[in-house]
Structures are given as C-alpha cells and as structure tokens.
Structure 1
C-alpha cells in the first residue's frame, strides 16, 4: 500500500503543472552549443509552465570552467534562488542542462533540485550508422529507408536522441560516399547527379554535420575500400568487375583510382569543415592484397588526402580482420604487429588530433551475447594491441547488434557488466550499431492507433538510453530509467524496467549458448542461424549439436555425453538444464510483473508490454526446447522410452510457447524484410527482396521439432 501511494505521489509530480514562477537563463556566450543547451532547458521549463523573463524569481546561470572540470563533465549547484550549471566544455554544459531538463520533466520543481556532478567514464561513445545509399549489402530491407534518411527532420530527432543519451560520435558508413557529397574537381564525371540533385545531397550532409556540431557530437565518414562510382569506372575503364559494388572483390589499385580516392578525401574535408574526421576499414574491396598492401593503400589515399586538406581532423582505424590476401581471413600475431605499427605512426601525424581510435568488433557481429570477450572478427585476439599499454591510440569496441530489430530490448546489468569487464586503461569507448538494420523507417508497427513515436529508433528508446547513459556514467542508477517509464506511462510503467531486464536476457542467453561468427550466422530474435549457406530456424537437432560461444556454457551433446558416463560439471558451468531453469524463472517473473498492466487506450504502452511478453514467451519456449533436447539426446544415447516421451512433452510445450509469441505479435507486427535473407543461395535479388520474417512464418519449422522427437530412434 505504501509503495502504491508513493507511485501515485510521484505520478502527480509528473503530471501536475508547476507553480507559475519567472525564470531567467544567463549564458556565457552565443556559441551554437551554448544556444542549443539553453534552448533545451527553455523548452523543459516552458513545459512545466515556468515563465522565461527578466527580472525573475529564479536565475539559471550557465558557465564554462575548463580549469576545474574536464571535457564533457558538468556540475549542477543550487544556490538559493540561483542554479549554476557549469560545464568543463560546451558538451559538458549541454549535458548539465539536459540533466536539469530531465529532472523538470520528471516532476522535480526548481526548489527541489539537488546538487550533482558527472564525469564521462569513456571519452568515445559512438553510433555506427550505415547510410541506405550504396549500402554494404544490397537489399530492399535497407533501400526502404532512403526517403526517411534524406529528410533533415529525421536527423534532427536522431541527433537529439544521441545527445540526450550522451552519445558523442556519429560514424556514417557507406561503400563509396564521395559522389553523394561532392563533384570531384578533377573527376566531375564520377558524380551521377545534376546540379539541383547535387545541391540537395550537399544540403543534407551539411545539415547533419552542423546539427551534430551544435550538440557536441563528432562526425566521422567511414568509406569502404576500394570502391569507385560506376560512372567513374566506365569513364576510365577501371574496376569494371564491380559496377554493382559487391563487397568481397579484388581491389583495383591503379594509379588513377589512387589519385581519385585521395582527392575525394581532401575535397570532402575542405567542403565540409564541420566533418570531424574519417575512418579506415580494411578488407572489403581489397581482395588479393596483403595486410601490408592494404595499410600502404590507406596511407597513400585516405591518410594522405587528410593531410592535403590543410586542416586538423580525427581518425578511426578499424583493426583488419584478415591476415591473408582474401577478404575473409583469420587473425594473426603478425598482422596485429603490422597494424599496431601503422596506428602508432598515425598517432604521430601533426594533422591528426589524437588519440587514434583503434576499432575492434566485440565477439564478432554479436556483442549482445556474453560480456566476456571470446573472439573478434576473424577469430582469436592476441595481446599485441594492449601490451605495452598504447599511448598513441585507444581501443574502441564495436558492439554490433544483428540480433534484435523488432522487439524492444533493455538489460542494464548486462551493459554495466560489459563496461566493467572491459574498462582497462587502453579502452577509449564503444561503437554501437548494426550493419543489417537501419533505425529509420518504422516498417514494423501494424496498429492504426496513435503511438508516441515516428521513427524506428524511437521505438527502441530504452536500448539507446541504456547504452548511451551507461557508457557516459556506468553508475547511472536504474531509477533514472525507471523514471522515464513512469514519465511516459504513469504508474503502469513502474515495473516495466525490471520486466524488460528479466525478459531481455533471452537473446543474450541464446547467443551465449550458440556459437557464431559473422552477421547472418545468428539472428537471436528469430531463433535462426546460418546453416547450409542459408539462414534457417534453429532446429532441436541443431541446438543439440552446436557448440556454445561462452566457455562457461555446456552444449546439449556434451552435457548428455558427460552425464551418461557418470561425469559432472564444475559449479560455474551453465548446463542446458540450469539454463532452462534460469530462463523459466526470469521469464515467468517478467510475465507476472506486466500481467496487471492495463493497456486499453494506450497503444504505445501496449507495445511495451507486448514486447516483454514476446521475449518472455520466447524464453519459456527456449527453456522447454533445451529440456526437450536433453531428453531427446539422452534417449538417442542410452535409450529409455520415458526419455523419448519427456522429449515429446517438452517440445510440445515449447511449441505452445511459440504459438503464444505468434498470438502476441501477429496482430501488431507486419511481416518484416530482413537483410538476413538478401543472400539466400540460388535466389535472385528480386526473390530475396520478397522474403519476410515473422514468428508465424516459422511455426511449421518449430512444429517439426516435435516430429523429430516422435520419430527418434536409439
């Protein structure tokens, strides 16, 4: 009863209007960053019915003090009728104003504001954004975002989200971005657009970079290499084998391609002074080249182009994932030594602002698995980049998400553990994002009722808020995230953070128990994985035989083999049955937390609750599937009709849980195009573009698990 009363009082604080009081905001200058900070604060004050005027009852004084505070740090200090917000730099001032604005939105009045201060734990907190024109992979699933991503209003909302969540880097990835940004002075034939079309592209890019700068967000352009525009290729008879821009091809290193690339880099930096820097990615379009040749190419083109731009810029150097001449290869100590030498040399270049950000993929393409580092792209990571501790560069981990695009996700304890596990002195930060999903057009939502979002990234607000705020300050309490639920949904939102955290462990546990490599090798949201060169449902047989990623997890096959021989496992080992019990415990609790929530008349809340229910039922399905897999493998190994019947029973229960997922999601989600289907073997591009994902579509495959058990023999 006391908890309910407290929630009601809190909710009244959210919804009641403030006592009409006059407020004046004093600013130290009129820079774009200060103006943005003050405007965000003004908006929050006006929403709370404060009057902005002078003289005033309250004064909010914005100041800068680089001597006392570091970069991006801030303090918020109430002093009687004055609240002083001090930033160590313009970004820190923005964060301080956003912190006060957050308190105001959460129902805290100016007299109730408490002193606080924050300092960034990690200096590099980035979003990986694959632009939908000239994409890494070609698919309708990516093409559908072009119109949205050409709208400046979309980018304003996206950048607002970034700064609210303390992301400070936007990295824009594209196979060959130059011809969408410039008409190369010496190669005008490379750009396919007329003057009006070129002006539209340039207006878009300038707006993105300008708005990012206003928000204290750095911007990096990350082109893949080696690519040229089809128009350039035809005009000069180069790279004619790759007019369609496939990413795994041999590189054309002819002199004219080298000159063209270098001049494009220089011209882009000169025409876009608000662009912060470039990124190097070594591999795609560089088949047939040794690691040394790839490094030499980057030095002669992008690095030299940056030097000739005549201004300072910054650099992301993606760690190469191939030690061979193939586009896909394996890691090696020799390649690590070569790469470290190159990065350290870049760190000494006067035209580059340090440190260089050395980027590695955390657990390949699926960081949402275990917080332990098991592998990087290409396989094993040695210690070359860490010992001795680097001084010219900082490591940044790319946390790729190729595992959930539709269902909302948020597990704060996982992110905190991820950061604490990897917060060594050489760590600079994280890059968060996908390569097979663009968070722009909402192609999921089926309801005709009004919802409180427009764009896809706004559906996943908790995902971005958790990662961004915790990368900035891992000590950010859950109360901050819980308060956001309550602000959005009132008392009904009070249990949603806990429910999300419990149900959201489902994809993490699947990815920890099922080993993977590149993008398509696992799609946790759909319980699909790469098999026979196609992405397929993970059958019970596949679950039995496939090894885990996390070394603490035990596969079904190894578990049954060990137990059948009378063996046992150490206490830290997570066996299939232990995993099943944990899944069931967490998912049933998540369902109990959302069961009382009434969603009638609030479609946005309905979707939040539905996604928790979907994840929870997927977790219960997974638990029963694991139990069924153990029983089935036990029957095949040692016999016993009771084991066969247990397998059938558990897999029938798993099917019922899957049916519950279908019942939840079929009315509210469209069948979804996925890039995972864009490389189905034997299909044309047109055929692949018609392929769709929904849990209902996979239902016959799930039912086959039951038949597999029924037809099993010892």
Structure 2
C-alpha cells in the first residue's frame, strides 16, 4: 500500500513538471511593421530597438511577438499628436504627423521599460505648440568667464548634441533656441565682408559641419532650431577693418553705445541673408533689443531691426520663423524697462511684420530672471506689464513665457504641481508656450559631479527630472504623477515612489525662497545657495541677510512680509500666509522628506546616493530658511520694542538655523566639491561656491546678532 502511494506521488510530481514545461511562456519578442520613411519615425524605431537590445529582447517576427505598426492620420489627429491602440498582441501607433508617430513609439518604449510586456491604449495631443529650451552657447557668450568657456569643447561635439536632442525628443520639447552675442561670424563668410569671419576656409568648414549636423539631427527629431542674438555686436577683425565699434574691448558693457553706421547695417543684412540661405535646416532667427544699443531711443532700436535683420531675411531665398523679444528699452538706463508707450510701439511693428513663416513668437521673462518662484505673474524684465500685447488679441504673433532658471544648478529638482499650476494660470489664447533655461549656466560639461561611478556624462543628465517634468507637462499638463514615479522606479527599483514624493516636497524650497525674496535680474538671487544682492553699498553677492529678510516685501501676493505681519492692519493681513505659517509649512514638509529617505541605503549606487543627498540638502536648506524666517520676526520685534526677550528669541532661532546649515554642509561636502558659478563673479580665485564656503557668513551673522545692542543702534 505504501509503495503504491509513493508511485502515485512520483507520478503527480512528473505530471506537474511536464505541465510546467508545456505551459512555459514563449520568450517575449517584438516585431515592428513600418512603411514610413520619415526620419522622426525612424528615430523612434531606433530607440525601441536600442531598448530591446539592452533588455535582451529579440526583434523577430513570430506568432507570439508584440507587433507594433505605424501609421499617419493627419485628418483625425493634430500636429504632434498620437494614439496607441492595442488589440491582443498588435499595437497600432498613429500620429498626426511623423513627429506624433515618434512620440507614440517613444511612449511604447517607456511603457515597456516599466517591466510590462503589454502596452496600454492611449491618445495624447500637445497642449502647447511652443515648448522650447533656452541654451546659451559658450562662445561669443553674453557673459565671458572660464565657467562658461569650460563648455566649449563639449558644445563643439556632435555626440553631445545627439544625446541632448535625444533627451529633448523623449521629453517632447520641440524648439531649441541657441543664444549668443553674434552667431554669424562662426556660421558664414559673406562675399562682401569676408573679414567679419576670423576663420580660414578650412576652419569654417569644420564649424559648418557642426551647425549642419546639429540642425539636421534636430529636424530628424521633430525639433525646430533658432539662432538668437543680442544686438549690435560685430567681430573684432570687422571692427578694425572698417574702423567701427564692436564693444569687444568690454563685452560686459552690453548697454554701451552701439555703432549704427551703414557698413554695419549692410553687413548684418548680408550675414542674415547668407545664414538663412546656407543652412536650410535652420528654422529661424531671434533678436533681442537693448544690448549694444545705448543712447538709442526705442524707435531707433526697432528701426535698426527692420533695416538689418528683417531686411536681410526678406532678401533670403526662403522664409524663416522669427522670435522677437520684448519689452524694448524705454531709454538708455536699462535694456528691459517696461513702458506702455514702448509696448505700443513694439506692437505696431509686430502687427505689420508679415514676411515670416507663420506667426512670430514674442518672449517675455516671467517674474524677471527667477521664473521658478510664484506662479502669479508679478513682473517681467523691467517691471510690471500692461495688456498691450494681447488687447486686442494679436493675429500674427503669440506670446511665450521665459522661465529663466538662475536659482539651482547643482541640486536635482522636480516639482510637477508647480508646473501644472503655472500652465493653468498663465496659458491664455495669446500664449502658445514656454522657454526654459538659464543665462548663467550651460547644461553641457558636467564639472559638478565629483564622485566616480555616476552614470551621467553630461550636465543635463544630472537634472533628468527637471527636463522630464517641464517637457512632458508642457506637452500634456494632465500627465499623472504615476508616470514620473515609474520614471524614478525604472532608474531606482523599489525606491521610485519614495524618491519622487520626497523630491516633490523639497523642490518647493527654492520656489518659496524666490517667491519671498522678490529678486529681479540674475545675480540678485541664487536660491540654492541662499545668496544674492543684499541692501547696502557696495552691492555684493552674499548670504541673504536676516536684516534684509525682515524688510522684504514678498513677490508672491499670497505672502506677507515680516513688517506687515507685525504692524499691518486686518485688510493687509486677511487671507495671507504669514512668515510664521510659511516657516511652519517649510519645517513640516522638509522633515517629512528627510524621514522618507532616511532608510534608503545607496551602498555602491552612486546615482542613488546623489538623489538622496540632494533631497537631504534641499530639506536642510528649507529648514534653515524656516528657522531664519522666525528669527527675522523676533529680530524685527526687538528692533521695534527694544525688549531683550525678543533679542534672545531671535538668537535662539538663528542658532537653530545655523545648526541646519551645518547639516547641509555635512550632506553636500562628501558629494560636491566647490564649483564656479557666475553669480559670484568672473574672477577664478573668488567665484567658487559651496555651502561650506557660505558657512563662514552664516556663523558671522549669528555672532553679529548676539552682539547687537539695539539701544545703541540709531537706525534699523
């Protein structure tokens, strides 16, 4: 009986084994059926094939393969839109055009990257047509320093541009705007003015290869390219040959008097015409008025553009697209001061410019140079903005907001709620998009990552979430957070949700600092470093001081400053967020983020170490600002009342803040060496930044507060 039982058990085991082998799933394979030869479609297919190769997935045609088919339907789908329809093992990717098909194929790749062997049906269309990155070139740069020149060789490498453009396509950016003072001398040599190009014919050929390759690669990825320049600048050889001014002796004097002689006007017309004719894959040009135009009225500046750039474009063999930066200067003191009369003048010109390919795009800086601040439009470059540009609605141009980032280059950032709210509040019928980028930082060479073992090769790869959040939400602001969680999870399995949520919390820190500090041009604030221009003479970039903080009127209309909080009437205070409430909110979500990532052990994963360290760094910076806000309230109470108890309270809070700064230094010192930043000037011996360097100022301020005797102080 026992023997029979054993035989039955053995038979059952054999049947189970046979069943397992017979039910074993076939290996996952992919097959692509494509009859479209458009380069954008081929790019999407190449990325799918690369994913399959890296994931060891066979690309074969068999009965069990995931069969991906491509189609274009411009009747039912708009430009750059796509639909994915899945039926069993068949995935039909249809685009409104070739770029839409590419986005659909890249979406399929992203879905498969999460580990699924099936693809969900979906349909997406662009919310905004103009989704641009601002990229300052390191040569003929707006500012001249070793920090920017460090990127020269990287930016001359077409492999860098290939990878950068791949990132743009993946994140659905569709415009690349390249900025420098005078791009033409490195692009063309005109017959009338060959001396304007200081290259030999052989050297110029190499530059032309770079430009042609860059413009073609961009076009193959559905990305338009624009060369944007500041204004009356020419090369030194040209200036010497014709005895004219080029401002080359002092490039930082951008507001200096430009030379409007006829020879420069004629050269500009020729350079613009030849650039357009010689580079058929270049989409368009852009101009900004003010620089190199000191002493000129707004009318004279606009006339200059009409006689040079516009006239040159009209002489070219094809039409181009055009970017016109506004506002113009109202005088000689500022290259961007706002004035209704100037806005009306500019609008008159824009309304009559019909010689370009499609609508003109006008660009306005959202909240000056610190777009990552309040989602409420408080000011543009130069001050407040009237409704001249959209009342009545324009017919041949659209407005796009410039989201200048002069606030964080080192620490990783991603705040999807901010971007969604920004789009919801600021996209109107006359707005067709955004520019995102910096003036003082070039995302090319990575000189910031100091530890070996990181997977990032280029600077933009460090800020992968910054570009992914901005690009994908500009395309579709309804993109759910689950998509970004999956992106984290693909990079850091088991930690994705924790990292995304913690980063989202602490990425509010620089937004709050910028919204409270109410900065203007580039160097007035560097949120990540808690430095900027303070009150006093001479102006210097240094730690945001307690005294200045107490006197600040915040940019964000939802916030109230320290003095209003202490002395304002009910109407001024009602419904507003007080400094204490803001400080408590900062403290709460920063501590939550610290607790969330505490258990993450990066071990040998250097990329994960950086993600965790950056979250901790933002959190400690937020806690520092939180405690300092409370110290500022107590400090002002001490100034007003001369009551020593408030002095002691201010000291207590600033001591707590100083402790948080020490923790910030402890987190960042092992992973970051001091790096040069433009905010601290161009001198190589003094422009290095690290939180450990600023710590001396943090400790000095605490010492100052302890020694402060308000009774002996004549004025605040």
When normalised by structure 2's length, the TM-score is 0.93
| 8 Å Cα contact 1:139/1:689 also seen in 2 | no
- How far off its partner does 1:688 sit? 5.0
Q: CA deviation at 1:641?
A: 2.5
Match runs of 1:393-542 below 5 Å: 393-448=397-452, 450-531=453-534, 532-542=538-548
Q: Is the 8 A contact 2:276 2:316 kept in 1?
A: yes
Contact 1:375 1:381 in 2 (8 A): yes
Aligned counterparts, 1:79-478, within 5 A: 79-109=87-117, 112-239=118-245, 241-246=247-252, 247-328=254-335, 330-346=337-353, 348-349=354-355, 352-448=356-452, 450-478=453-481
Matched with 1:4 is none
Structure 1 distance, partners of 2:162, 2:62, is 33
Q: CA deviation at 1:254?
A: 0.6
Range 333-342 or range 167-176, more displaced: 333-342
Sort the Cα spacing of 1:190 and 1:244 in 2 relative to 1 into closer, same or farther, 3 A.
farther
**Cα shift at 1:689:** 5.9
Q: Is the 8 A contact 1:371 1:421 kept in 2?
A: yes
Q: Equivalent of 1:702, from 690, 698, 701?
A: 698
Distance 1:22 1:710 in 2: 70
Q: Partners in 2 of 1:528 and 1:132 — Cα distance?
A: 24
Q: Could you say which structure has the larger radius of gyration?
A: 2
CA-to-aligned-CA distance 1:275-315 (integer Å, 9 cap, x gap): 00001111111111111111111111111111111112101
Deviations 1:205-254 (A, max 9, x none): 11110110000000000011100001100011011554443322111111
Contact 1:673 1:689 in 2 (8 A): no
C-alpha distance in 2 between matches for 1:182 and 1:610:
46
Query: Given that residues 328 and 346 in structure 2 are in contact (C-alpha distance below 8 angstroms), is that contact kept between their aligned partners in structure 1?
Result: no
User: For the residues of structure 1 that align with 2:90 and 2:501, how far apart are their CA atoms?
Assistant: 37
User: Does 2:602 align with 1:606?
Assistant: no
Quote the RMSD (CA, aligned, Å): 1.7
How far apart, in 1, do the equivalents of 2:502 and 2:62 lie? 47
> What's the CA shift for 1:711?
2.2
Bigger shift: 464-473 or 511-520? Answer: 511-520
Q: CA deviation at 1:709?
A: 2.3
Q: Contact 1:403–1:522 (CA<8 Å) still a contact in 2?
A: yes
Separation in 2, partners of 1:19, 1:570: 68
Provide the rounded CA distance (Å) in 2 between the counterparts of 1:570 and 1:360.
31
SS in 1 for 2:68: strand
Corresponding position of 1:29 = 36
Inter-partner Cα distance in structure 1 for 2:125 and 2:449: 38
**TM-score (norm: length of structure 1):** 0.93
Partners of 1:645 and 1:595 lie apart in 2 by 33
Q: Separation in 2 of the partners of 1:282 and 1:250?
A: 13
Displacement after TM superposition at 1:331 (Å): 0.8
In the alignment of these two chains, the number of paired residues is: 682
Say which of 550, 553, 558 aligns to 1:552: 558
Deviation at 1:549, TM superposition (A): 1.1
Distance in 2 of aligned mates of 1:370 and 1:648 = 30
Cα deviation, residue 327, structure 1: 4.1
Q: CA deviation at 1:55?
A: 5.4
In structure 2, distance between residues paired with 1:659 and 1:633:
25
Q: Which runs of 5+ in 2 are unaligned?
A: 1-23, 712-716
Q: Output one character per residue of 1:139-186: Cα deviation in whole Å (capped at 9) or x when no partner.
A: 111111111111111111100000100000000001011111112222
Structure 1, unaligned runs of 5 or more: 1-16, 679-684
The answer to whether the aligner puts 1:38 opposite 2:34 as a matched pair is: no
- Structure 1 481/487 Cα, relative in aligned 2: closer, same or farther at 3 Å? same
**Counterparts of 2:116 and 2:306 in 1: how far apart (Å)?**
53
Contact conserved, 1:249 with 1:286, CA < 8 A, in 2? yes
Q: Is the 8 A contact 1:66 1:89 kept in 2?
A: yes
Partner of 1:14: none
CA–CA separation in structure 2 for the residues paired with 1:628 and 1:617: 16
Q: Output one character per residue of 1:435-457: Cα deviation in whole Å (capped at 9) or x when no partner.
A: 00000111111213x11211111
